[in-house]
Structure 1
Amino acid sequence: MKTFFDLDTWQEIYGVLRKNVTRTIITMIGVMWGIFILVALLATAKGFENRFNKNIGDLATNSVFVWGQSTGMAFHGFQEGRPMRLKHSDAQIVEKNVQGIDFVVPRNQNRQVVLRKFLDGTYNVSGDYPVLDKVSKKKLMYGRFINDNDIKHSKKIAVISQDVYEDLFEEDEYPIGQLIEISEINYTVVGVFERSNIQMGPGDAIHIPFTTFQKVFNQGNNIGWMVITGKPESNISQIESDVKLQLKNLHDVHPDDSQAFGSFNLGERFKEVTGFLTGMQFLTVFVGLATLVAGIFAIGNILLITVKERTKEIGIRRALGAKPWEIKAQIIMESVVLSLFAGILGIIGAGMVIFALNSISDGPNAVLLNSSVEIYIILLALLTLVVLGTLIGLIPANRAIRIKPIEALRDE
């Protein structure tokens, strides 16, 4: 009685597959291609997801940006087209009265020429509070971010971006404690942060204390926009509506006026992107599995042909005492071996492609980042191959055991 571990069993499988090498290879290509597509697409989807998460970083995604525009409706004696300018007090009232808010960050920004020694550049200079670092975490290369003491004393300090550092400083020069000139006022550099593809509003190049910004640029109580972050369990869309309604009440704007205040709901955009990524992963799995199943069916069809060609051989084995389950097990093992071996080759090919993708997808502007597939997914794919190979092998196996020895021996 032959078993899975008998050398004779494997020699017989090898002999069967070797009889028609071309047909065996063509049969395996379908499965190889299926698992190659599955693994390669999953790795690509993971690369997109990793790049997206890298770009998002520590950004509070449950956020909305709100700024003033112009009214679109007359109200309480005010004419249509009245400009709206947000106040610092608006941010305080919104934070106090709107439910579900975690942080409200008032912000201001001007574009200024920045000088250092004989070098200069034009950059966005933002007036900010320390809480901004909780909403959009800065990855510091040197030093620190703005702190409460800087705000309290309106200190003339600056936290600059990597781009500003590379433009105005020598390579490897230590920037902390150095002076830069903004609007004819010297600021001490206290921190340098890495460049990022995600910004909390217009691109940030230099951060100075909010109170310093208000005094230097004579902003008084005015702010450019506010960043509002909801608590994890809060509905950011509802917060957006409530904030706008609160601002309309504060500035005597008609409740139905949709033009007075502009907004950008980062939370909704984030959900759209994550939904797209999830959909892409499902589509990837569907396409890969469909291709894999098609390859497995090809193996079943080829084995049916093989069984027909081996009718006489099977009849002789039956006549010599081979039991039906032994014949059945032999056919199923051939199907599993074909499926598994083809799957391993497909995974190796996909691994080479993933390695190549990671080699060429390098740098901050690359579309993919660290394309990879979890090992458990690879093992699950191989297990799926074994299961499908067993099931598809049952079809030719059942046909083989229905062959009667006498009829098989008469077969020409």
Structure 2
Amino acid sequence: MFDLDHWQEIWITITHNKSRSTLTAFGVFWGMFMLVAMVGAGNALDKGISSQIEGFATNSCFFWTNPTTEPYQGFRKGRYWNMTNSDIPIIRQRVKELQYISPVLFSGGGGSEKNVVRGERNGAYLVKGCYPEYDLIEKSNMIYGRYVNTIDIAEKRKVCVIGERIYEVLFQPGEDPVGKQIRVNGIYFQVIGVARSTSGVSIGGQTAETVVLPFSTMQQAFNQGNIIHFVAATANHGTPVKIVQDQITDILKQQHQISPDDKEAVGGMNIEEQFNMFNYLGIGIASLIWIVGLGTLFAGAIGVSNIMLVTVRERTREIGIRRALGATPRAIIGQIMSESIVLTVVAGILGIVVGVGILAATGIVLSQGDQFFKDPQISFGMAVGSLMILIVIGTLAGMIPAQRAMMIKPIEAIREE
């Protein structure tokens, strides 16, 4: 362990030429500052993306119908077809990897601009009919009441769940809407709940501006027969969604006499694949951040190494005298490398402190509104790791100057003017 005199000597050496030491340290400071700032920004982006998909089942897939593109079993190309109620139990039975499934019906204004009415208050909103399982796929946070349940489906109850924005338009602030009647597309329904979205991802429309009805009720009340507009499904955890997607697609083709080679008739979207793309994008951004940040740091380290070489050359006579007085090689190497490490670590820690401070200030500003970037900061592990990187860089930066100092011969160094 170094004594106090040793550290004082290191400090005197570094501060002997303040301008040169400051400019040398700035390269390390800037490299560490950039690394901290970019990692913090990357974490903020990652948290922003996570907040947008929070509450939405990433192991889900969705299906809809398109005109056929292949003739099959006497049917012409371009045939329009519909999914029906009978498809759901068949899919449940055959797809063993299936977790949840919900048919969905959509309706806009039903021919009226203001299709949702309560007294003198009204608005134009999306109407969606679904099963209770849909709330396990696109999760809602219930502000009042509850979501649609299986009894509502079985008894075809005339009840509805309204979005948060609809509640604000139709009701007084703080008023309990549960049990109240509203008119949806000309038919009265009893409000059983108010839903707030937990995710920035939504299918068909924003939860805040959607009226949810029991699927069976919507089919009967609006004369939809047994038609299904949309099917949402999730795979069991650990099962790739592509397996469930392919199986459901094949079943729908078999049930509706669609060519197995028709790639367009069954429209589909694999949410797992979409989220994986975001994950890969995040990994790519993180890798780029570390490559750029470490590159800048090592550039700073090269600057430190070059300056230490100049310092060693200027101190040739001093080093020669030390060697003549019995200084061991270990002591000479330790002195030079200690100076390099101290200069690097001090500059780097300052870069970390400034970077963290700016990230904290930015986080306070972003928290004032609903921003996509969330809480830019670095983890404690990253801070500790950065300190280790600084020590390694300082050591590497001092190795060549230390070896140069060891090559100095005492007699020649003492003679040098």
* Structure 1 residue 120, shift from structure 2 partner: 0.8
Aligned to 1:64: 61
Q: Deviations over 1:187-224 (max 9, x none)?
A: 22222222342113444412111121111111121111
1:247–1:364 distance in 2 versus 1, CA, 3 Å: farther
1:321 to 317, 326, 337: 326
Residue 31 (structure 1) aligned with residue 28 (structure 2): yes
In structure 2, distance between residues paired with 1:32 and 1:174: 57
1:372 corresponds to: 377
User: How many angstroms apart in 2 are the aligned matches of 1:370 and 1:36?
Assistant: 18
1:302 equivalent to 2:307? Answer yes
**Which residue number in structure 2 is paired with residue 125 of structure 1?**
127
Q: Which moved more, 1:128-137 or 1:336-345?
A: 128-137
Displacement, 1:177? 2.8
- In structure 2, how many angstroms separate the alpha carbons of the residues matched to 1:252 and 1:197? 37
**Which one-letter code corresponds to 1:100 in the other structure?**
E
How does 1:174-185 map onto structure 2 within 5 Å? 174-185=176-187
SS in 2 for 1:82: coil
Q: For 1:39 and 1:101, how far apart are their aligned partners in 2?
A: 43
1:397-412 correspondence runs (5 A): 397-412=402-417
Alignment of 1:9-408 (within 5 A): 9-112=6-109, 113-195=115-197, 196-204=199-207, 205-362=210-367, 366-408=371-413
Distance 1:294 1:172 in 2: 60
Question: Match for 1:200: what amino acid?
Answer: I
**Using a 3 Å threshold, how does the CA distance of structure 1 residues 135 and 52 change in structure 2: closer, same or farther?**
same
Which moved further from structure 2: 360-369 or 253-262?
A: 360-369
- Kindly indicate whether the alpha-carbon contact (under 8 Å) linking 2:241 and 2:272 is maintained by their aligned counterparts in 1: yes
Q: Distance in 1 between matches of 2:251 and 2:201?
A: 28
Give unpaired runs (5+ residues) of structure 2.
110-114
Q: Is 2:333–2:406's contact at 8 Å kept on the other side of the alignment? A: yes
**Closer, same or farther in 2 for the Cα pair 1:183/1:364, shift >3 Å?**
farther
Deviant stretches of 4+, over 6 Å = none
Letter in 1 for 2:202: Q
SS of match in other structure, 1:103: strand
In structure 2, distance between residues paired with 1:190 and 1:294 = 63
Aligned-partner SS, 2:41: helix
- For 1:354 and 1:198, the matched residues in 2 are separated by 27
* Alpha-carbon shift at residue 365 of structure 1 (Å): 5.1
Aligned partners of 1:335 and 1:377: how far apart in 2?
23
Deviates more, 1:109-118 or 1:120-129: 109-118
Look up the SS of the partner of 1:139 in the other structure: strand
8 Å Cα contact 1:84/1:261 also seen in 2: no
The amino acid of 1:111's aligned partner reads G
Q: What letter is aligned with 1:75?
A: Y
1:211-262: CA deviation from partner (whole Å, max 9, x where unpaired): 2111111112111110121112222223222222211111111221222221
TM-score, length basis structure 1: 0.94
Letter in 2 for 1:329: G
Deviation (angstroms), 1:92: 1.8
Number of equivalenced pairs: 409
State the identity %. Answer: 37
What is the CA–CA distance in structure 2 between the aligned matches of 1:183 and 1:201, rounded to whole Å? 18
Residues in 1 aligned to 2:385 and 2:212: alpha-carbon distance in whole angstroms:
50
1:329-383 residue CA offsets vs partner (Å, 9 max, x unmatched): 1111111111111111111121122123323334775231122211011101101
RMSD (Å) for aligned C-alpha atoms = 1.7
Secondary structure, in 3 states, of the residue corresponding to 2:298?
Answer: helix
Q: Give the distance between the partners of 1:201 and 1:230, measured in 2 at CA.
A: 21
Structure 1's 84 and 237: CA in aligned 2 closer, same or farther, altered over 3 A?
A: same
Distance 2:369 2:178 in 1: 25
102-111 vs 239-248, which moves further: 239-248
- The whole-number CA distance in structure 1 between the counterparts of 2:229 and 2:151 is 23
Q: CA offsets, 1:306-325, max 9 Å, x none?
A: 11111122222223332221
For 2:414 and 2:174, locate their aligned partners in 1 and report how far apart those are by CA, in whole Å: 86
TM-aligned CA deviation for residue 140 of structure 1: 2.0
Does structure 2 retain, via aligned residues, the 8 Å contact 1:65–1:201?
Answer: no
Cα separation, 2, equivalents of 1:277 and 1:254: 39
